[in-house]
């Protein structure tokens, strides 16, 4: 079920960022004083920007991200002045190509990862080959390395799976380089529209440093090219690349990994992302959440991945997280795990729930439990 992120201009000239499933209804609520307490005191409000996302989880992610932007950057977004975004970032989007490669570990030499790299699904090969052909035509040598992570590197590639990439640039990107990257992605969307090809670009030296040091980078996400984003530039991606990344182009880069950093990032994510999402689920109601297949899968398997990491100090996939619930967690969560796995791996399977409200309640209660128990795990 789709969801929206929106920006309102309030009567005092300030901006409010929110997300919702029903944009028209939410705007009406803001106008009559039933919206957030912030807008109640600053009416009337005006919708100045909105964007649609495939599910509430992704919309909520972008809501929180834009809320962290400065006023100047929000104004640039509202005005469509995307070329100004890098200049409004805290750090140069060109990366840190001059950083030393002292720290980090090489990409895994696991034979299974090598086999996967050689046997990428035909759809994946079509996307990556098309992209490389386009960018090489416009900017030869710009993309020095191309690596895949996410579902693919776990051997899980389903009908709705994304192709998650990390691109390593041979030099700090110029304005022309960024325009060429954006154009190449547009051509890939035209050639292979059924697959989402999403990720970010950095310098090789960035991967050898903590992800938190990298700053904002060029990102392609949801069909849009953001000159200064943060998508997936985090310790989870660094560890996933180091442990099982799939090489499409380039050698094995040195990648910084630190389990303590990864665990700290995971604990912070429970507080900064999942806890506010739990509050939002409570506001929307169990029936609304339970009706949304994508939300049930995202919540159940997403937070279970974090719990697995905190409990075992090891990454797992979304499906692996579902099986972790079945193998290691209390039986009261097993029905929900079976439901989420079926939705992810076997679309069209009949639900084991007789009503959506019960399914939504189970998802909400599992999320609440996983957050509380995850904080206990040290």
| Nearest-angstrom CA–CA distance, 319 and 53 | 23
Q: Residues 6 or more apart from 185 whose CB is under 8 A from it?
A: 131, 197, 220, 225
**Lookup: tokens for 19:** 């997300």
pLDDT classification of 157: cutoffs 50, 70, 90:
confident
In tens, the pLDDT along 188-206 reads: 999 888 889 999 999 989 9
| 274: alpha, beta or left? (left if phi > 0; alpha if psi -120 to 50) | alpha
pTM: 0.74
Nearest to 195 by CA among 232, 148, 244, 158: 158
Q: Residues 6 or more apart from 302 whose CB is under 8 A from it?
A: 57, 274, 318, 321
Q: Region 332-339: what's the mean pLDDT?
A: 97
Q: What angle (nearest 5°) sits at the alpha carbon of residue 228, between those of residues 222 and 231? A: 50
pLDDT at 280: 92
Among 72-86, 221-235, 304-318, whose mean pLDDT is lowest? Answer: 72-86
Nearest to 304 by CA among 277, 266, 272, 268: 266
| Nearest-angstrom CA–CA distance, 156 and 222 | 20
pLDDT at 61: 77
Q: Residues 6 or more apart from 84 whose CB is under 8 A from it?
A: 76
pLDDT at 119: 55
pLDDT at 155: 85
In tens, the pLDDT along 272-302 reads: 999 999 999 999 999 999 999 999 999 999 9
């Amino acid at each position: 079920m789709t969801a929206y992120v929106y920006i309102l201009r309030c009567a005092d000239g300030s901006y409010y960022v929110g997300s919702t499933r029903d944009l028209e209804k939410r705007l009406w609520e803001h106008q009559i004083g039933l919206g957030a307490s912030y807008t109640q005191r600053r009416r009337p409000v005006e919708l100045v920007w909105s964007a649609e996302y495939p599910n509430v989880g992704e919309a909520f992610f972008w809501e929180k991200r834009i809320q962290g932007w400065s006023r100047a950057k929000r104004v640039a977004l509202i005005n469509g002045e995307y070329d100004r975004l890098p200049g409004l970032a805290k750090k140069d989007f060109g990366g840190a190509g001059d950083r030393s490669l002292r720290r980090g570990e090489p990409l895994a030499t696991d034979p299974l990862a090598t086999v996967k790299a050689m046997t990428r699904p035909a759809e994946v090969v079509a996307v990556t080959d098309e992209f490389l052909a386009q960018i090489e035509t416009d900017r030869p040598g710009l993309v020095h390395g191309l690596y895949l992570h996410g579902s693919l590197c776990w051997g899980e590639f389903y009908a709705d799976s994304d192709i998650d990439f990390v691109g390593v640039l041979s030099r700090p990107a110029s304005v022309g380089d960024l325009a060429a990257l954006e154009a190449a992605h547009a051509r890939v969307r035209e050639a292979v529209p059924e697959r989402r090809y999403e990720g970010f670009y950095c310098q090789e030296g960035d991967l050898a440093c903590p992800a938190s040091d990298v700053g904002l980078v060029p990102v392609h996400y949801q069909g849009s090219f953001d000159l200064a984003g943060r998508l997936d530039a985090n310790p989870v991606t660094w560890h996933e690349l180091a442990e099982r990344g799939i090489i499409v182009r380039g050698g094995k880069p040195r990648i910084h990994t630190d389990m303590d950093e990864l665990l700290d990032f995971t604990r912070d994510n429970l507080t900064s992302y999942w806890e506010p999402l739990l509050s939002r689920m409570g506001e929307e109601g169990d029936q609304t959440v339970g009706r949304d297949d994508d939300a049930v899968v995202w919540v159940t398997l997403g937070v279970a991945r974090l719990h697995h990491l905190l409990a075992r100090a090891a990454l797992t996939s979304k499906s692996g997280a579902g099986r972790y619930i079945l193998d290691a967690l209390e039986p009261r969560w097993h029905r929900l795990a079976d439901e989420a796995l079926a939705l992810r791996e076997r679309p069209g399977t009949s639900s084991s729930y007789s009503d959506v409200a019960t399914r939504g309640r189970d998802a909400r209660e599992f999320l609440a439990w996983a957050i509380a128990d995850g904080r206990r795990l040290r």
